[in-house]
Structure formats: C-alpha cells, structure tokens
Amino acid sequence: MIIDCHGHYTTAPKALQDWRDAQIDAFDAGQPFTALDPAITDDEIRASLEGAQLKLQRQRGSDLTIFSPRASAMAHHIGDAEVSLRWTRKCNDLIARVVSLYPENFVGVCQLPQSPGADLLGSIFELERCVNELGSVGCNLNPDPSGGHWTAQPLTDRSWYPFFEKMVELDVPAMVHVSGSCNPNFHATGAHYINADTTAFMQFLEGDLFKDFPTLRFIIPHGGGAVPYHWGRYRGLADMLKRPPLREHVMKNVFFDTCVYHQPGIDLLFRVIDIDNILFGSEMVGAVRGIDPETGHYFDDTKRYVDALPIPAADKHKVFEGNARRVYPRLDAILKGQGR
C-alpha cells in the first residue's frame, strides 16, 4: 500500500471560499455573521476530487491520502478566535464528508482554531471533537498563528503543554504546518513554510520537550525544511549547546515527509535521515503544481523519486506504508478495520 501522509483539500468547491469571504467581510465591517453552512452537495465534492486528487492517486500509484483542509487558507491571523473556530469547524466537517464518500482513498487530519494570543482550549476541544466524532487521525499544528510575524512562544514552551497532553491522551501526531504569510518578507510556500519547518526543528533541538512527552510525535513536512541539507550544522549545534545526540534527543519523536520536488533533494534526504524517520508525502495539487521542464514530469509526483532510489524493498515499504501506520496508530486501526 502507498500512503501519502501529506494532502490538502486545495480543490474544495467554491462555496466554501465564498462562505469564508463573507465571514471575513462581516468581521472587517464589525457586523455579526449569521450565514448558513456553505451549500455543498455530495456531487460537488465528488466533482472536485475526481479530476484532481483521485485522478492523480490512480495515475501515480498511491492508494490513500492523509487529507486535511487547505493549509494556506487556515489563516489564523485573520479575525479573532471565534472567527477561526467557525471557519475551522466548517473545514473539518467538509474533510469528514470527503472521507465518508471515499473511505478507502482518504483519511482525515484536522485543522485547529488557533488565533494569535488566544489560549489553546479551543484547539483542544476541536482536536477531541475531530478525533472522537469525525475520525481524524491527527492534526495540523501551526507554530506561528500570526502569519509570519512569529509572536507565539516556541513549541517547547509550557504554554503548549495542555495541547500536547491531549495529543498524547488521544495518541495522535501533529504535522507542523504554518498557513499563509501576511509578512511581505516571506513568500508563503517558498519561504514561510520552509522557515517554519526549520525553526520547529531547532526549537525541538534547544528544548527538552520529549523528556516530558516521550510518546509525542511530529511530522515536519516539506522534507524537513533546511534541516537535512544542514544536518552537520544541527548535529554540531546540539554538541555546542550540550544537547544529547539528535538521534536520541529529537529523532525518536520527529519525522520528515518526502515533499521534496527533485531527485537530488530526495537522494540527499535518504542519505542523511534514518529510514524510520521518513514518511512518503506529495502535497499534490498543492504549492508546486507544474511540470519540471528538465524531466517532463510533474514536480509533485514524488513517488517517482522514491521509486528511483537504490534502496531495499523493505526500506521502501517502511517509507510508503509502515512508518505512516506506526506514526498514525489510529490510521493503522482504520486500515485493519477495512481488512487492509
């Protein structure tokens, strides 16, 4: 089985964004927002997927996508905590509908209603709702709800601990994933995303989070940001800062995906990072959708890169399936329940 750990509903029906635009307009005008749920039919959901994610699953040979709301649209910096909560619930409910229509192709991961300066109580309740009621197997956690201004405390700060306690209780991982950038210095997908991936890793290196939460699990997407390319730097910093070796200090709890859009990048990722810490991911129909003129293939057809690696079949099985089932135990339970 080929499990893609990183997919977003980037092709959701237009009615969802129309609802969001109306919500933002009402907030900006200081008016109450009383609109009904966006009117989206099952047929519209099917149409939004059959020509996109499902088509590409079939063409590229993957079987199941761990699917979440569009990351760039989480936009926690817009509005206030109530605005974020209402928007988040609409997005998560729509993902649950996708999964109900295509239970063999998708499994849900939830967005959180984070908002700059707000506590995490709303996120705790939403995570619990999505896991227990909607069948989510994890969440996307934004380390910078401010949208590129980095006003939040590091992920190792104790202010995050109540949320981490809930993650441990529910036995679900989080993908560290920022949203859009409102800081013109940082292009959202080209700079802000990679900055956040790298920053989160450094925060884990500096702190002692995994001493307090030894079973906590994070996926750092986009191949781990700059980390694999600068692995010697981070090993050296761990030594200089009197941290334990990275293998013991961080890498029992942190995993990288394969959303790296060229063969040399994948080659380096697999040379540097242990095979048990890599999960297959594509983020297809996402940040980079075009065809690479050097290869004639889509940049985000990442399975091709893994297929080309000269590694044992057992290692490819770990990357394509085994590691995801281990990092997402609720996913493993769902698949076993389906006889897969």
- 283 has catalytic annotation: yes
Catalytic residue among 104, 165, 206, 283: 283
- Residues 96-115 as b or e (16 or more Cβ within 10 Å = b): bebbeebeebbbbbbbbbbb
Catalytic residue numbers, as ranges: 283
